[in-house]
Chain A
Amino acid sequence: MTIHGNVHGEGSSKKNGLKIGNKLKVITAKTSLMALGVTFELCAKYVPEMKNEISDWEDGRNVGIGVLPTGPYITVRKDGEKFTYLGSGLQDAEISILFKNLDSAMMIFLGQLGAADAVAENRVCVQGQNYMAMQVTRAMAIVQTYLFPGFILRNTFKRPPKLNGQQIATKAKIMGLLTPKLIGASFK
């Protein structure tokens, strides 16, 4: 049997519901990725663990993160001691961490699944060298530590980070700077 035309019927709430659901996922993914990109910048500036982690990365490394098959994507670039959020798209990324679909991406962005479990469940595909993927994963863990509240970290990390007083203050600073940075980044 072949079904022609609009399966759900013109103007049906189910069809519109599907569309709205998907649109919301795309908006959430775009916002989450932007927040990730901006927090990479902030962590490189204010978080000693991040400075240490990227100290032996080569300058000019572009890191792509995004959602297959059609995005959204972002790229961050490492130069010296800093990360620069380059904006949307995969811009000559040497290493890309890509979610296979929006549903998989949502699980991470909404704190339902940790990075290791996302990899274990084959929800992620890596383009690039293995050792770079591991370095980026560790950097992303630092970003998530300063982006997510504690209860999400306890559910999604194999060994939830325990922040000392200094680190908690840094996290508060990053949270305070995030919104204005996001507004600026939305124009990239």
Chain B
Amino acid sequence: MLPDYYEFICPVKVLCGRKALSNLPYELKQLGASRPLVITDQGVVGAKLMDKVKAAFNDSDIEIAAIFEETPPDSSNHVVNEVAKLYQQNDCDSFVAVGGGSVIDTTKGVNVVVSEKTDDLLKFQGVDRISAAMQPFIAVPTTAGTGSEVTAAAVISNVDAGHKMALMSNKLYPQVAIVDPAMTMTMPAKITAATGMDAMTHAVEAYICIQKNPISDAYASAAIKLMREYLIKAVEDGSNDEARLGMANAALLAGISFSNSMVGIVHAMAHACGGVAHVPHGVANSILLPFGMEYNLEKVPQHISLLAHMLGVEVSGLDEKQKAEKAIEKIRQISEKLNGLCGLATRLRDAGVREDQLEQIATVALNDGALTYNPEEADYDDILKLLKAAY
């Protein structure tokens, strides 16, 4: 059934494949930029990925104006303001974000501060609050992944107020995303698994939530089929470039999908687990995904049943509900396999969540915007029940 009305946007130019990174100076020039600020983190530096970025400029007349290497895992408004000062002091004219979701979101935040000539991101919380033209921005993801290189959102902690700020605007999209599998080769198995399951959750929730539309469905479906093929392979053998390329593509497609059809109860709970118990996002999503799918089963069996085909499950002779149950079972099997391969947690208790934190997690999840898009209504008691089941 088609939605009565939907919107879809993806204005990002995507360069994806082997040696994609060598196009970085050319793309900057196309954007009229000559003094980029490169924003990254110590993980990227430690993995020697910044050497690849610097090498991309070797035969170019563009010089990196400044580099910020200290982006923390949970970015904040203080970091954003610090980086904005660096941008202005070095007379930069563009951004290159090299890293995972936190680095890319930080860059989005800095772009807002610099372009809106402000030091107060609080004013831009919510939807469509940004009006100034943004500076040129190229994202180079090093995980596969959050899909932040193709989303219109940035989540940044407001340290002073003690909560996370969500900024959503089409102006937050980078102009270019350079997806080079070489930038993900050094990811350890457990992070490959966790970020891969993050991408899986994006695609699955995008496919079943109430904002789904035919275009986002196409992207979600393509993403799931790639992950069916490559997720386990990438975890088993990190040097498998075909698997790394497959997962890089899958994360990108899943990112485009969920940016246009949002996510639901799994992400609401995962965000809360991250905020309260510091569970890494991909780990939380991996644990909670089958529980979220089960919760939505009665409401949207027709959508969940189609996931079975995409996941490669044999479903001939089964009715819709049985197919949907098979899809959920397959997700569980993938989680169990990843647990065996690299120790990725399958229960909240194994991810460091204490039982006495579940009520607080439920309270926080109840106020997460992602819940709006979930097919089934969920109140505090429903969420707590799910968390206890996943504990």
Chain B residues near A149 (CB-CB < 8 A): none
Q: Judging by beta carbons under 8 Å apart, are B377 and A159 in contact?
A: yes
CA A154 to CA B244, docked complex, whole Å: 47
Task: Bin the interface of chain B by size.
Answer: 20 to 34
A92 within 8 Å of B (CB atoms): no
Known contacts A120-B211, A158-B377, A134 near B7 by CB under 8 Å:
no
A117 within 8 Å of B (CB atoms): yes
Q: Judging by beta carbons under 8 Å apart, are A126 and B127 in contact?
A: yes
Q: Judging by beta carbons under 8 Å apart, are B210 and A130 in contact?
A: no
Q: Judging by beta carbons under 8 Å apart, are A130 and B166 in contact?
A: yes
**Which of B50-58, B107-115, B368-376 faces chain A?**
B368-376
Q: Specify which of B166, B209, B376 is in contact with A159 (CB 8 Å cutoff).
A: B376
Q: Judging by beta carbons under 8 Å apart, are B372 and A137 in contact?
A: yes
Chain B residues near A125 (CB-CB < 8 A): 126-128
Binary contact track B351-391/A, C-beta < 8 Å → 1, others 0: 00000000000000011110111011100000000000000
Q: Judging by beta carbons under 8 Å apart, are B367 and A119 in contact?
A: no
Q: Judging by beta carbons under 8 Å apart, are B373 and A130 in contact?
A: no
Q: Judging by beta carbons under 8 Å apart, are A134 and B5 in contact?
A: no
Known contacts A130-B369, A158-B376, A121 near B6 by CB under 8 Å:
yes
Chain A residues near B375 (CB-CB < 8 A): 158
CA A134 to CA B105, docked complex, whole Å: 22
Chain B residues near A179 (CB-CB < 8 A): none
Interface of B is mostly: loop
The residues in A between 75 and 90 inclusive whose CB is less than 8 angstroms from any CB of B are none
A152 within 8 Å of B (CB atoms): no
B317 within 8 Å of A (CB atoms): no
Q: Judging by beta carbons under 8 Å apart, are A131 and B373 in contact?
A: no
CA A102 to CA B138, docked complex, whole Å: 37
A157 within 8 Å of B (CB atoms): yes
CA A157 to CA B375, docked complex, whole Å: 11
B124 CB to closest chain A CB (Å) equals: 10
Chain B residues near A129 (CB-CB < 8 A): 125-126, 163, 165
The residues in A between 155 and 188 inclusive whose CB is less than 8 angstroms from any CB of B are 157-159
Q: Specify which of A117, A120, A134, A157 is in contact with B367 (CB 8 Å cutoff).
A: A134
Q: Judging by beta carbons under 8 Å apart, are A131 and B367 in contact?
A: yes
Nearest residue in A to B158 (C-beta to C-beta)? A129
CA A14 to CA B125, docked complex, whole Å: 42
A22 within 8 Å of B (CB atoms): no
Chain A residues near B366 (CB-CB < 8 A): 134
Binary contact track B95-124/A, C-beta < 8 Å → 1, others 0: 000000000000000000000000000000
CA A149 to CA B262, docked complex, whole Å: 30
B4 within 8 Å of A (CB atoms): yes
- Residues on B facing A (Cβ under 8 Å): 3-7, 125-129, 163-166, 209-211, 262, 299, 366-369, 371-373, 375-377
**What would 19 more interface pairs be, CB under 8 Å, given A121-B7, A125-B128, A135-B367?**
A116-B210, A116-B373, A119-B372, A119-B373, A121-B5, A121-B211, A126-B126, A127-B125, A127-B126, A129-B125, A130-B164, A130-B166, A130-B368, A131-B368, A134-B368, A134-B369, A158-B377, A159-B376, A159-B377
Q: Could you list 22 A-B pairs, sorted by A, with CB under 8 Å?
A: A119-B372, A120-B211, A120-B262, A120-B373, A121-B4, A122-B6, A125-B126, A125-B128, A127-B125, A127-B129, A128-B126, A129-B126, A131-B368, A133-B126, A134-B366, A134-B368, A134-B369, A134-B372, A135-B367, A137-B372, A158-B299, A158-B377
- Residues on A facing B (Cβ under 8 Å): 116-117, 119-122, 125-131, 133-135, 137, 157-159
